Amino acid sequence: MTTMRSRKASIALVLAVVYVDMLGIGLAFPILPRLVQQFEHGDVSRAAWIYGLLAAAYALMQFILAPMLGALSDRFGRRPVLLLSLLGMGLNYAVLAAAPSLAWLVAGRIVAGAMGASYSTASAYLADITPPEKRAQSFGLIGAAFGFGFITGPALGGLLGDIDLRLPFVVASVLSFANLAFGYFILPESLAPENRKDFSLARANPVGALGTIGRYPAIAGLLIVFVLATFANKVAETTWVLFATYKFHWTAASVGLSLAMVGVMFVIGQGGLVRIVVPRLGERRSILLGLFVSAVVVVLYGSVPRGWMVYPVMVLALFGWTIAQPASMGVMSRTLPADEQGLLQGGIASVNSLAAVVGPPVWTSIFAYFVGPSTPVVVPGAAFDGAALVFLIALVVAARTLPAERIGVVALADTGT
């Protein structure tokens, strides 16, 4: 009973850290594209190009350093790496709050990308303290905490941004440093000494890390799915603020409200729906359903003629990547031993970052071209149509990677039958 209570307390603590971290990210999310646009004197097309490159610089740093942080967490524990990540985010927001030019924005995002490992390290933390058959649900809780932060963050960020464009960054910086103090004084270590692995530079780089975890065939296939799905998901993350402002003429507060609703759906999906759908359908069907629904959702996002219509689409998105992601992570986590969970999460973060390096420039470039002066026809949602095609490719890869017989057994294990 004591062990169960201790495990639940540790889960609650790490979820609190993730929530506050995501709250800070959410505060800045609806404002950063507008700040770029302000530096470009209101030119939305040029701001889209620059914002895409800015997002790519952040992701490139994560791609290079995420495996190293994951390997370090396997050697020294999750807690110090998580604290380092929180320190990096606090410094990032402080730089953004005072940035006098685009060069300073780039510097802030590089710092954030270099030390941004809170999500992947928190996932490894939960893998340490959760039985293998329950990890899909635990990863769903991480997603729910992530979503709660995304509910309150963008809504508050939009309101603060209408007061002053830099104010959300100030608040985000304060929250990140407060989160750092909370983690330092309260969060315990999760990785037992006997489960730690010696640090190896050969494993602590993107190529070495992917080579190590890629020796498991099921993981290799799902990593490809992760790359494709993350690449497709970047279409909304990198173009939504500019897209909604251009097509629907929304204010910062309106954009923040829409992003908050995305967070609500994320919490409902990963905090509750995952626990119902994944055990009943099995992980394979959950992954395939999620990828197909995601393709439909992004097409609808790009084609609805009125702003209010995106909200019913968000309800449909409950059955998209929101469910497929934790199911995929559950399959991969169960395949690796305890002393490689940090490496796995670092590898996942790395491949996600690789997709994030390519995704923002691609999607913002498509958006910029189809709303720019040289386009033969204005199609603000063209990037969303491209993302739908990528989701369908990921669906085919997942179907070929995960045989029904294998996932059927896993689903029975998860339900305890």
| CA-wise closest residue to 256 among 168, 361, 318 | 168
What tens-digit pLDDT sequence spans the chain (417 residues)?
Answer: 435 556 666 777 777 777 777 777 777 777 788 888 888 877 777 888 888 788 778 777 777 777 777 777 788 888 888 888 888 888 888 888 888 888 888 888 787 777 765 667 777 787 787 777 676 677 777 777 777 777 788 888 888 888 888 888 888 888 888 888 888 888 788 777 777 777 666 665 666 666 666 666 667 788 888 889 989 988 988 889 889 989 999 887 888 888 888 878 877 887 778 888 888 888 888 999 999 999 999 999 999 999 999 999 999 999 998 888 888 887 777 777 766 666 676 667 667 777 777 888 899 899 989 988 888 898 999 999 999 999 999 999 999 887 664 433 333 333 333
Residue with tokens 């896993």: 410
Residue ranges in 29-43 assigned as alpha helix (H) = 32-39
DSSP code for 184:
H
- Give a three-class secondary structure readout of 45-66: HHHHHHHHHHHHHHHHHHHHHH
Cα–Cα nearest to 407, from 227, 222, 231, 226: 222
Distance CA 45, CA 372 (A): 6
Identify residue 393 by its one-letter amino acid code: I
Which domains are seen in the chain, by residue range? 2-189+200-415 (1.20.1250.20)
Residue with tokens 């939009």: 158
Dist. CA 168–CA 154, nearest whole Å: 9
d(CA 408, CA 411): 5
Spatial CB neighbours of 164, under 8 Å, sequence gap ≥ 6:
none
Token pair 């990785």 is found at 191
- Sign for the CA dihedral angle at 382, 386, 392, 395 comes to negative
Q: What does the alpha-carbon distance between residue 304 and residue 300 come to, in Å, rounded to a whole number?
A: 6
Cβ-count burial 90-127 (b if 16+ within 10 Å, e if not): bbbbbbbbebeeeeebbbbbbbbbbbbbbbbbbbbbbb
CA dist., res. 281 & res. 303, Å (int): 30
Q: Is 381 left (phi over 0), alpha (psi -120 to 50) or beta?
A: alpha
* Cβ–Cβ under 8 Å, residues 36 and 313: no
3-state percent helix, strand, coil for the chain, nearest multiple of 5: 85, 0, 15
